[in-house]
Amino acid sequence: MKALVFACLMLPVAAIAADLEASLTIRNHQFSPAELKVPAGKKIKLIVQNQDPTPEEFESHELNREKVIAGNGKATIYIGPLQPGKYPFFGEFNEKTARGVVIAE
Amino acid sequence: MFGAALIVFRESLEAALLISIVAAATRGLSRRNFWIAVGIAAGLAGSLVVAGLTERIAELAEGSGQELFNAAVLGIAVVMLGWHNIWMARHGREMAAQAKSVGHAVKSGQREMSALAILIAIAVLREGSETALFLYGLAAGGGSSHASMLGGGLTGLVAGVVAGWALYSGLARIPLRHFFTVTSGLILLLAAGLAGQMARFLVQGDIVRPLATPLWDSSSLLPMDSVIGNVLHLVAGYDARPSGMQVLFYVLTFLIILAGMRWSRTLTPRTA
C-alpha cells in the first residue's frame, strides 16, 4: 500500500517532448563509444546498432535493462531518467570484450 | 564450450524452477506428466520459431516489439499462476484428502492441467528462445566447433534439469499438511516476480512510465550477481534497483492473487 501511495505521488505531469537520443554501435563484440555521456534527469532513447553478424544481449544491472539485439540488427532501449553517476553495461553473449559505461551528468 | 554450458544452464534452470514448482503443486492430478510433457514440447518448438523471428518481432512497434512480446508472455504466465493458486486454494486440500478420487475432481483436474501446460510452454518458450538465439550466434560466429558447443549446451541442459529435479524432490518431501501452503507461497512469489519483470519490459520499451528510477538501490546489500541475489531473483523476482512501476506491479499482483485465494477458500467446495 505504501508503495502504491508513493507511486501515485511520483506521477509527474506528462510533458510532451521529443526524446533525447543516444547511440551505441557493436562491432567485433565491442561497444563504441565505450563511454557514453548522457544528461542526468532526462529520459534517453538509446539506439544500439549491432554490426556483427551474431546476436548480442545488451545488459546492465545498474540500468536495470536487458535486450537481445539480432545480428546486423538494431534495437531501441529507453533508459533513465538517471541520477548523475556511472552505469556500466555489457554484452551478455561476449562478456569479456563487450563492455561499456553510461555516464550521466 | 563453457560459455554455451553456462548460458544453457542458466536459462534451463529458470524454466526448470518453474516447472518443478508447478509439478510439485499438481501432485496427484490425473495425467499430470502428460500435460507437463506437452507444455515442454510446445515451448521448445515455439523457441525455435521465436529465435528465427527475433529480428521481425523487434522491428515491430518501433523497436519495442521484443518488450511488448516479452510483457505479453509474462502477463499470460502471471494470470495462469494466479488462477492456479486461486483454484488450488479451494481444491487442494479436498484433493489431498480424497486423493485418487474419480469424478468431477478429475475432470476439473484435466482442465486445470491443460492451463498449466500452457504456463509451462510459456516458461520454456521464453528461456528456450534466448538459448536458441545464443547458440545460433555462437554457431554463426564460428568461435567454437559445433561439437564442443553442442556438448556445452547439453551439459548445461542436464545440469539445469538435475537442479530442477532436486528442487522437485525437496518439495515433494514436504508433508502434505504444509505442502499446499509452501507451493502456493512459492507460486505467489513467482507470479508477483514475473509481473515485476513485465513492468520492467514495458518501461524499457517506453510503453509505461517508470515512476521512479530506481525506487531503491539494495545492490550494495544484496547484489544481483551474488548467488543469493540470483536465486531470490529467479524465485521471488528480487531486483536490486527496481523502478517504481516494477514494485507497483509486484505488490498489486501479490495482493490480487492473495485476495483471490482468500475468497476462493471461503466458498464451500462441492463434494462428489
Residue B85 to residue B70: CA distance in whole angstroms: 23
CB proximity B214 to A under 8 Å: yes
CA–CA dist A25, A13 (Å, integer): 34
CA distances to A55, A65, B10, B40, B124 from B47, in Å: 15, 22, 16, 10, 8
Tens of pLDDT along B103-139?
A: 444 556 666 677 778 888 888 888 888 787 777 666 6
Partner-chain contact A78 B203, CB within 8 Å: yes
Q: pLDDT at position A16, please? A: 46
Task: Please give the interface size between A and B, counted as residue pairs whose CB atoms are below 8 Å apart.
Answer: 98
**B137, A56: Cβ pair inside 8 Å?**
yes
CB-CB under 8 Å, A82 with B213: yes
Per-residue model confidence as pLDDT tens digits over B150-165: 788 889 889 989 988 8
Angle at B14 between CA A69 and CA B224, to 5 degrees: 75
Hey, how many other C-beta atoms are within 10 angstroms of the C-beta on A30? Answer: 15
pLDDT band at B96; cut points 50, 70, 90: low
Q: Residue B61's pLDDT band (boundaries 50, 70, 90)?
A: low
Contact A78, A89 (CB under 8 A): no
**Average pLDDT score over residue span A13-42:** 85
Q: Confirm or reject contact between B270 and chain A (CB < 8 A).
A: no
C-alpha cell belonging to residue B188? 505467489
Supply the pTM of this predicted model.
Answer: 0.75
Quickly tell me which residue has 536495470 as its cell: A64
Measured CA to CA, the distance from residue B112 to residue B121 in angstroms comes to 14
Residue type, B104: H
Query: Does B205 reach chain A within 8 Å, measured CB to CB?
Result: yes
Shortest CA gap B119–chain A (Å): 23
Residue A12 has pLDDT above 50, yes or no: no
Look up residue A16 and give its three cell numbers.
Answer: 510532451
Q: List pLDDT tens digits, range B5-56.
A: 777 887 888 788 888 887 887 777 777 888 889 999 999 998 888 877 766 7
Q: Are B120 and B19 in contact (CB under 8 A)?
A: yes
What does the pLDDT average to over A95-100? Answer: 93
C-alpha cell at B4: 554455451
Cell numbers representing residue B36 in the block: 507437463
Instruction: Name residue A47's beta-bridge partners.
Output: A23, A76
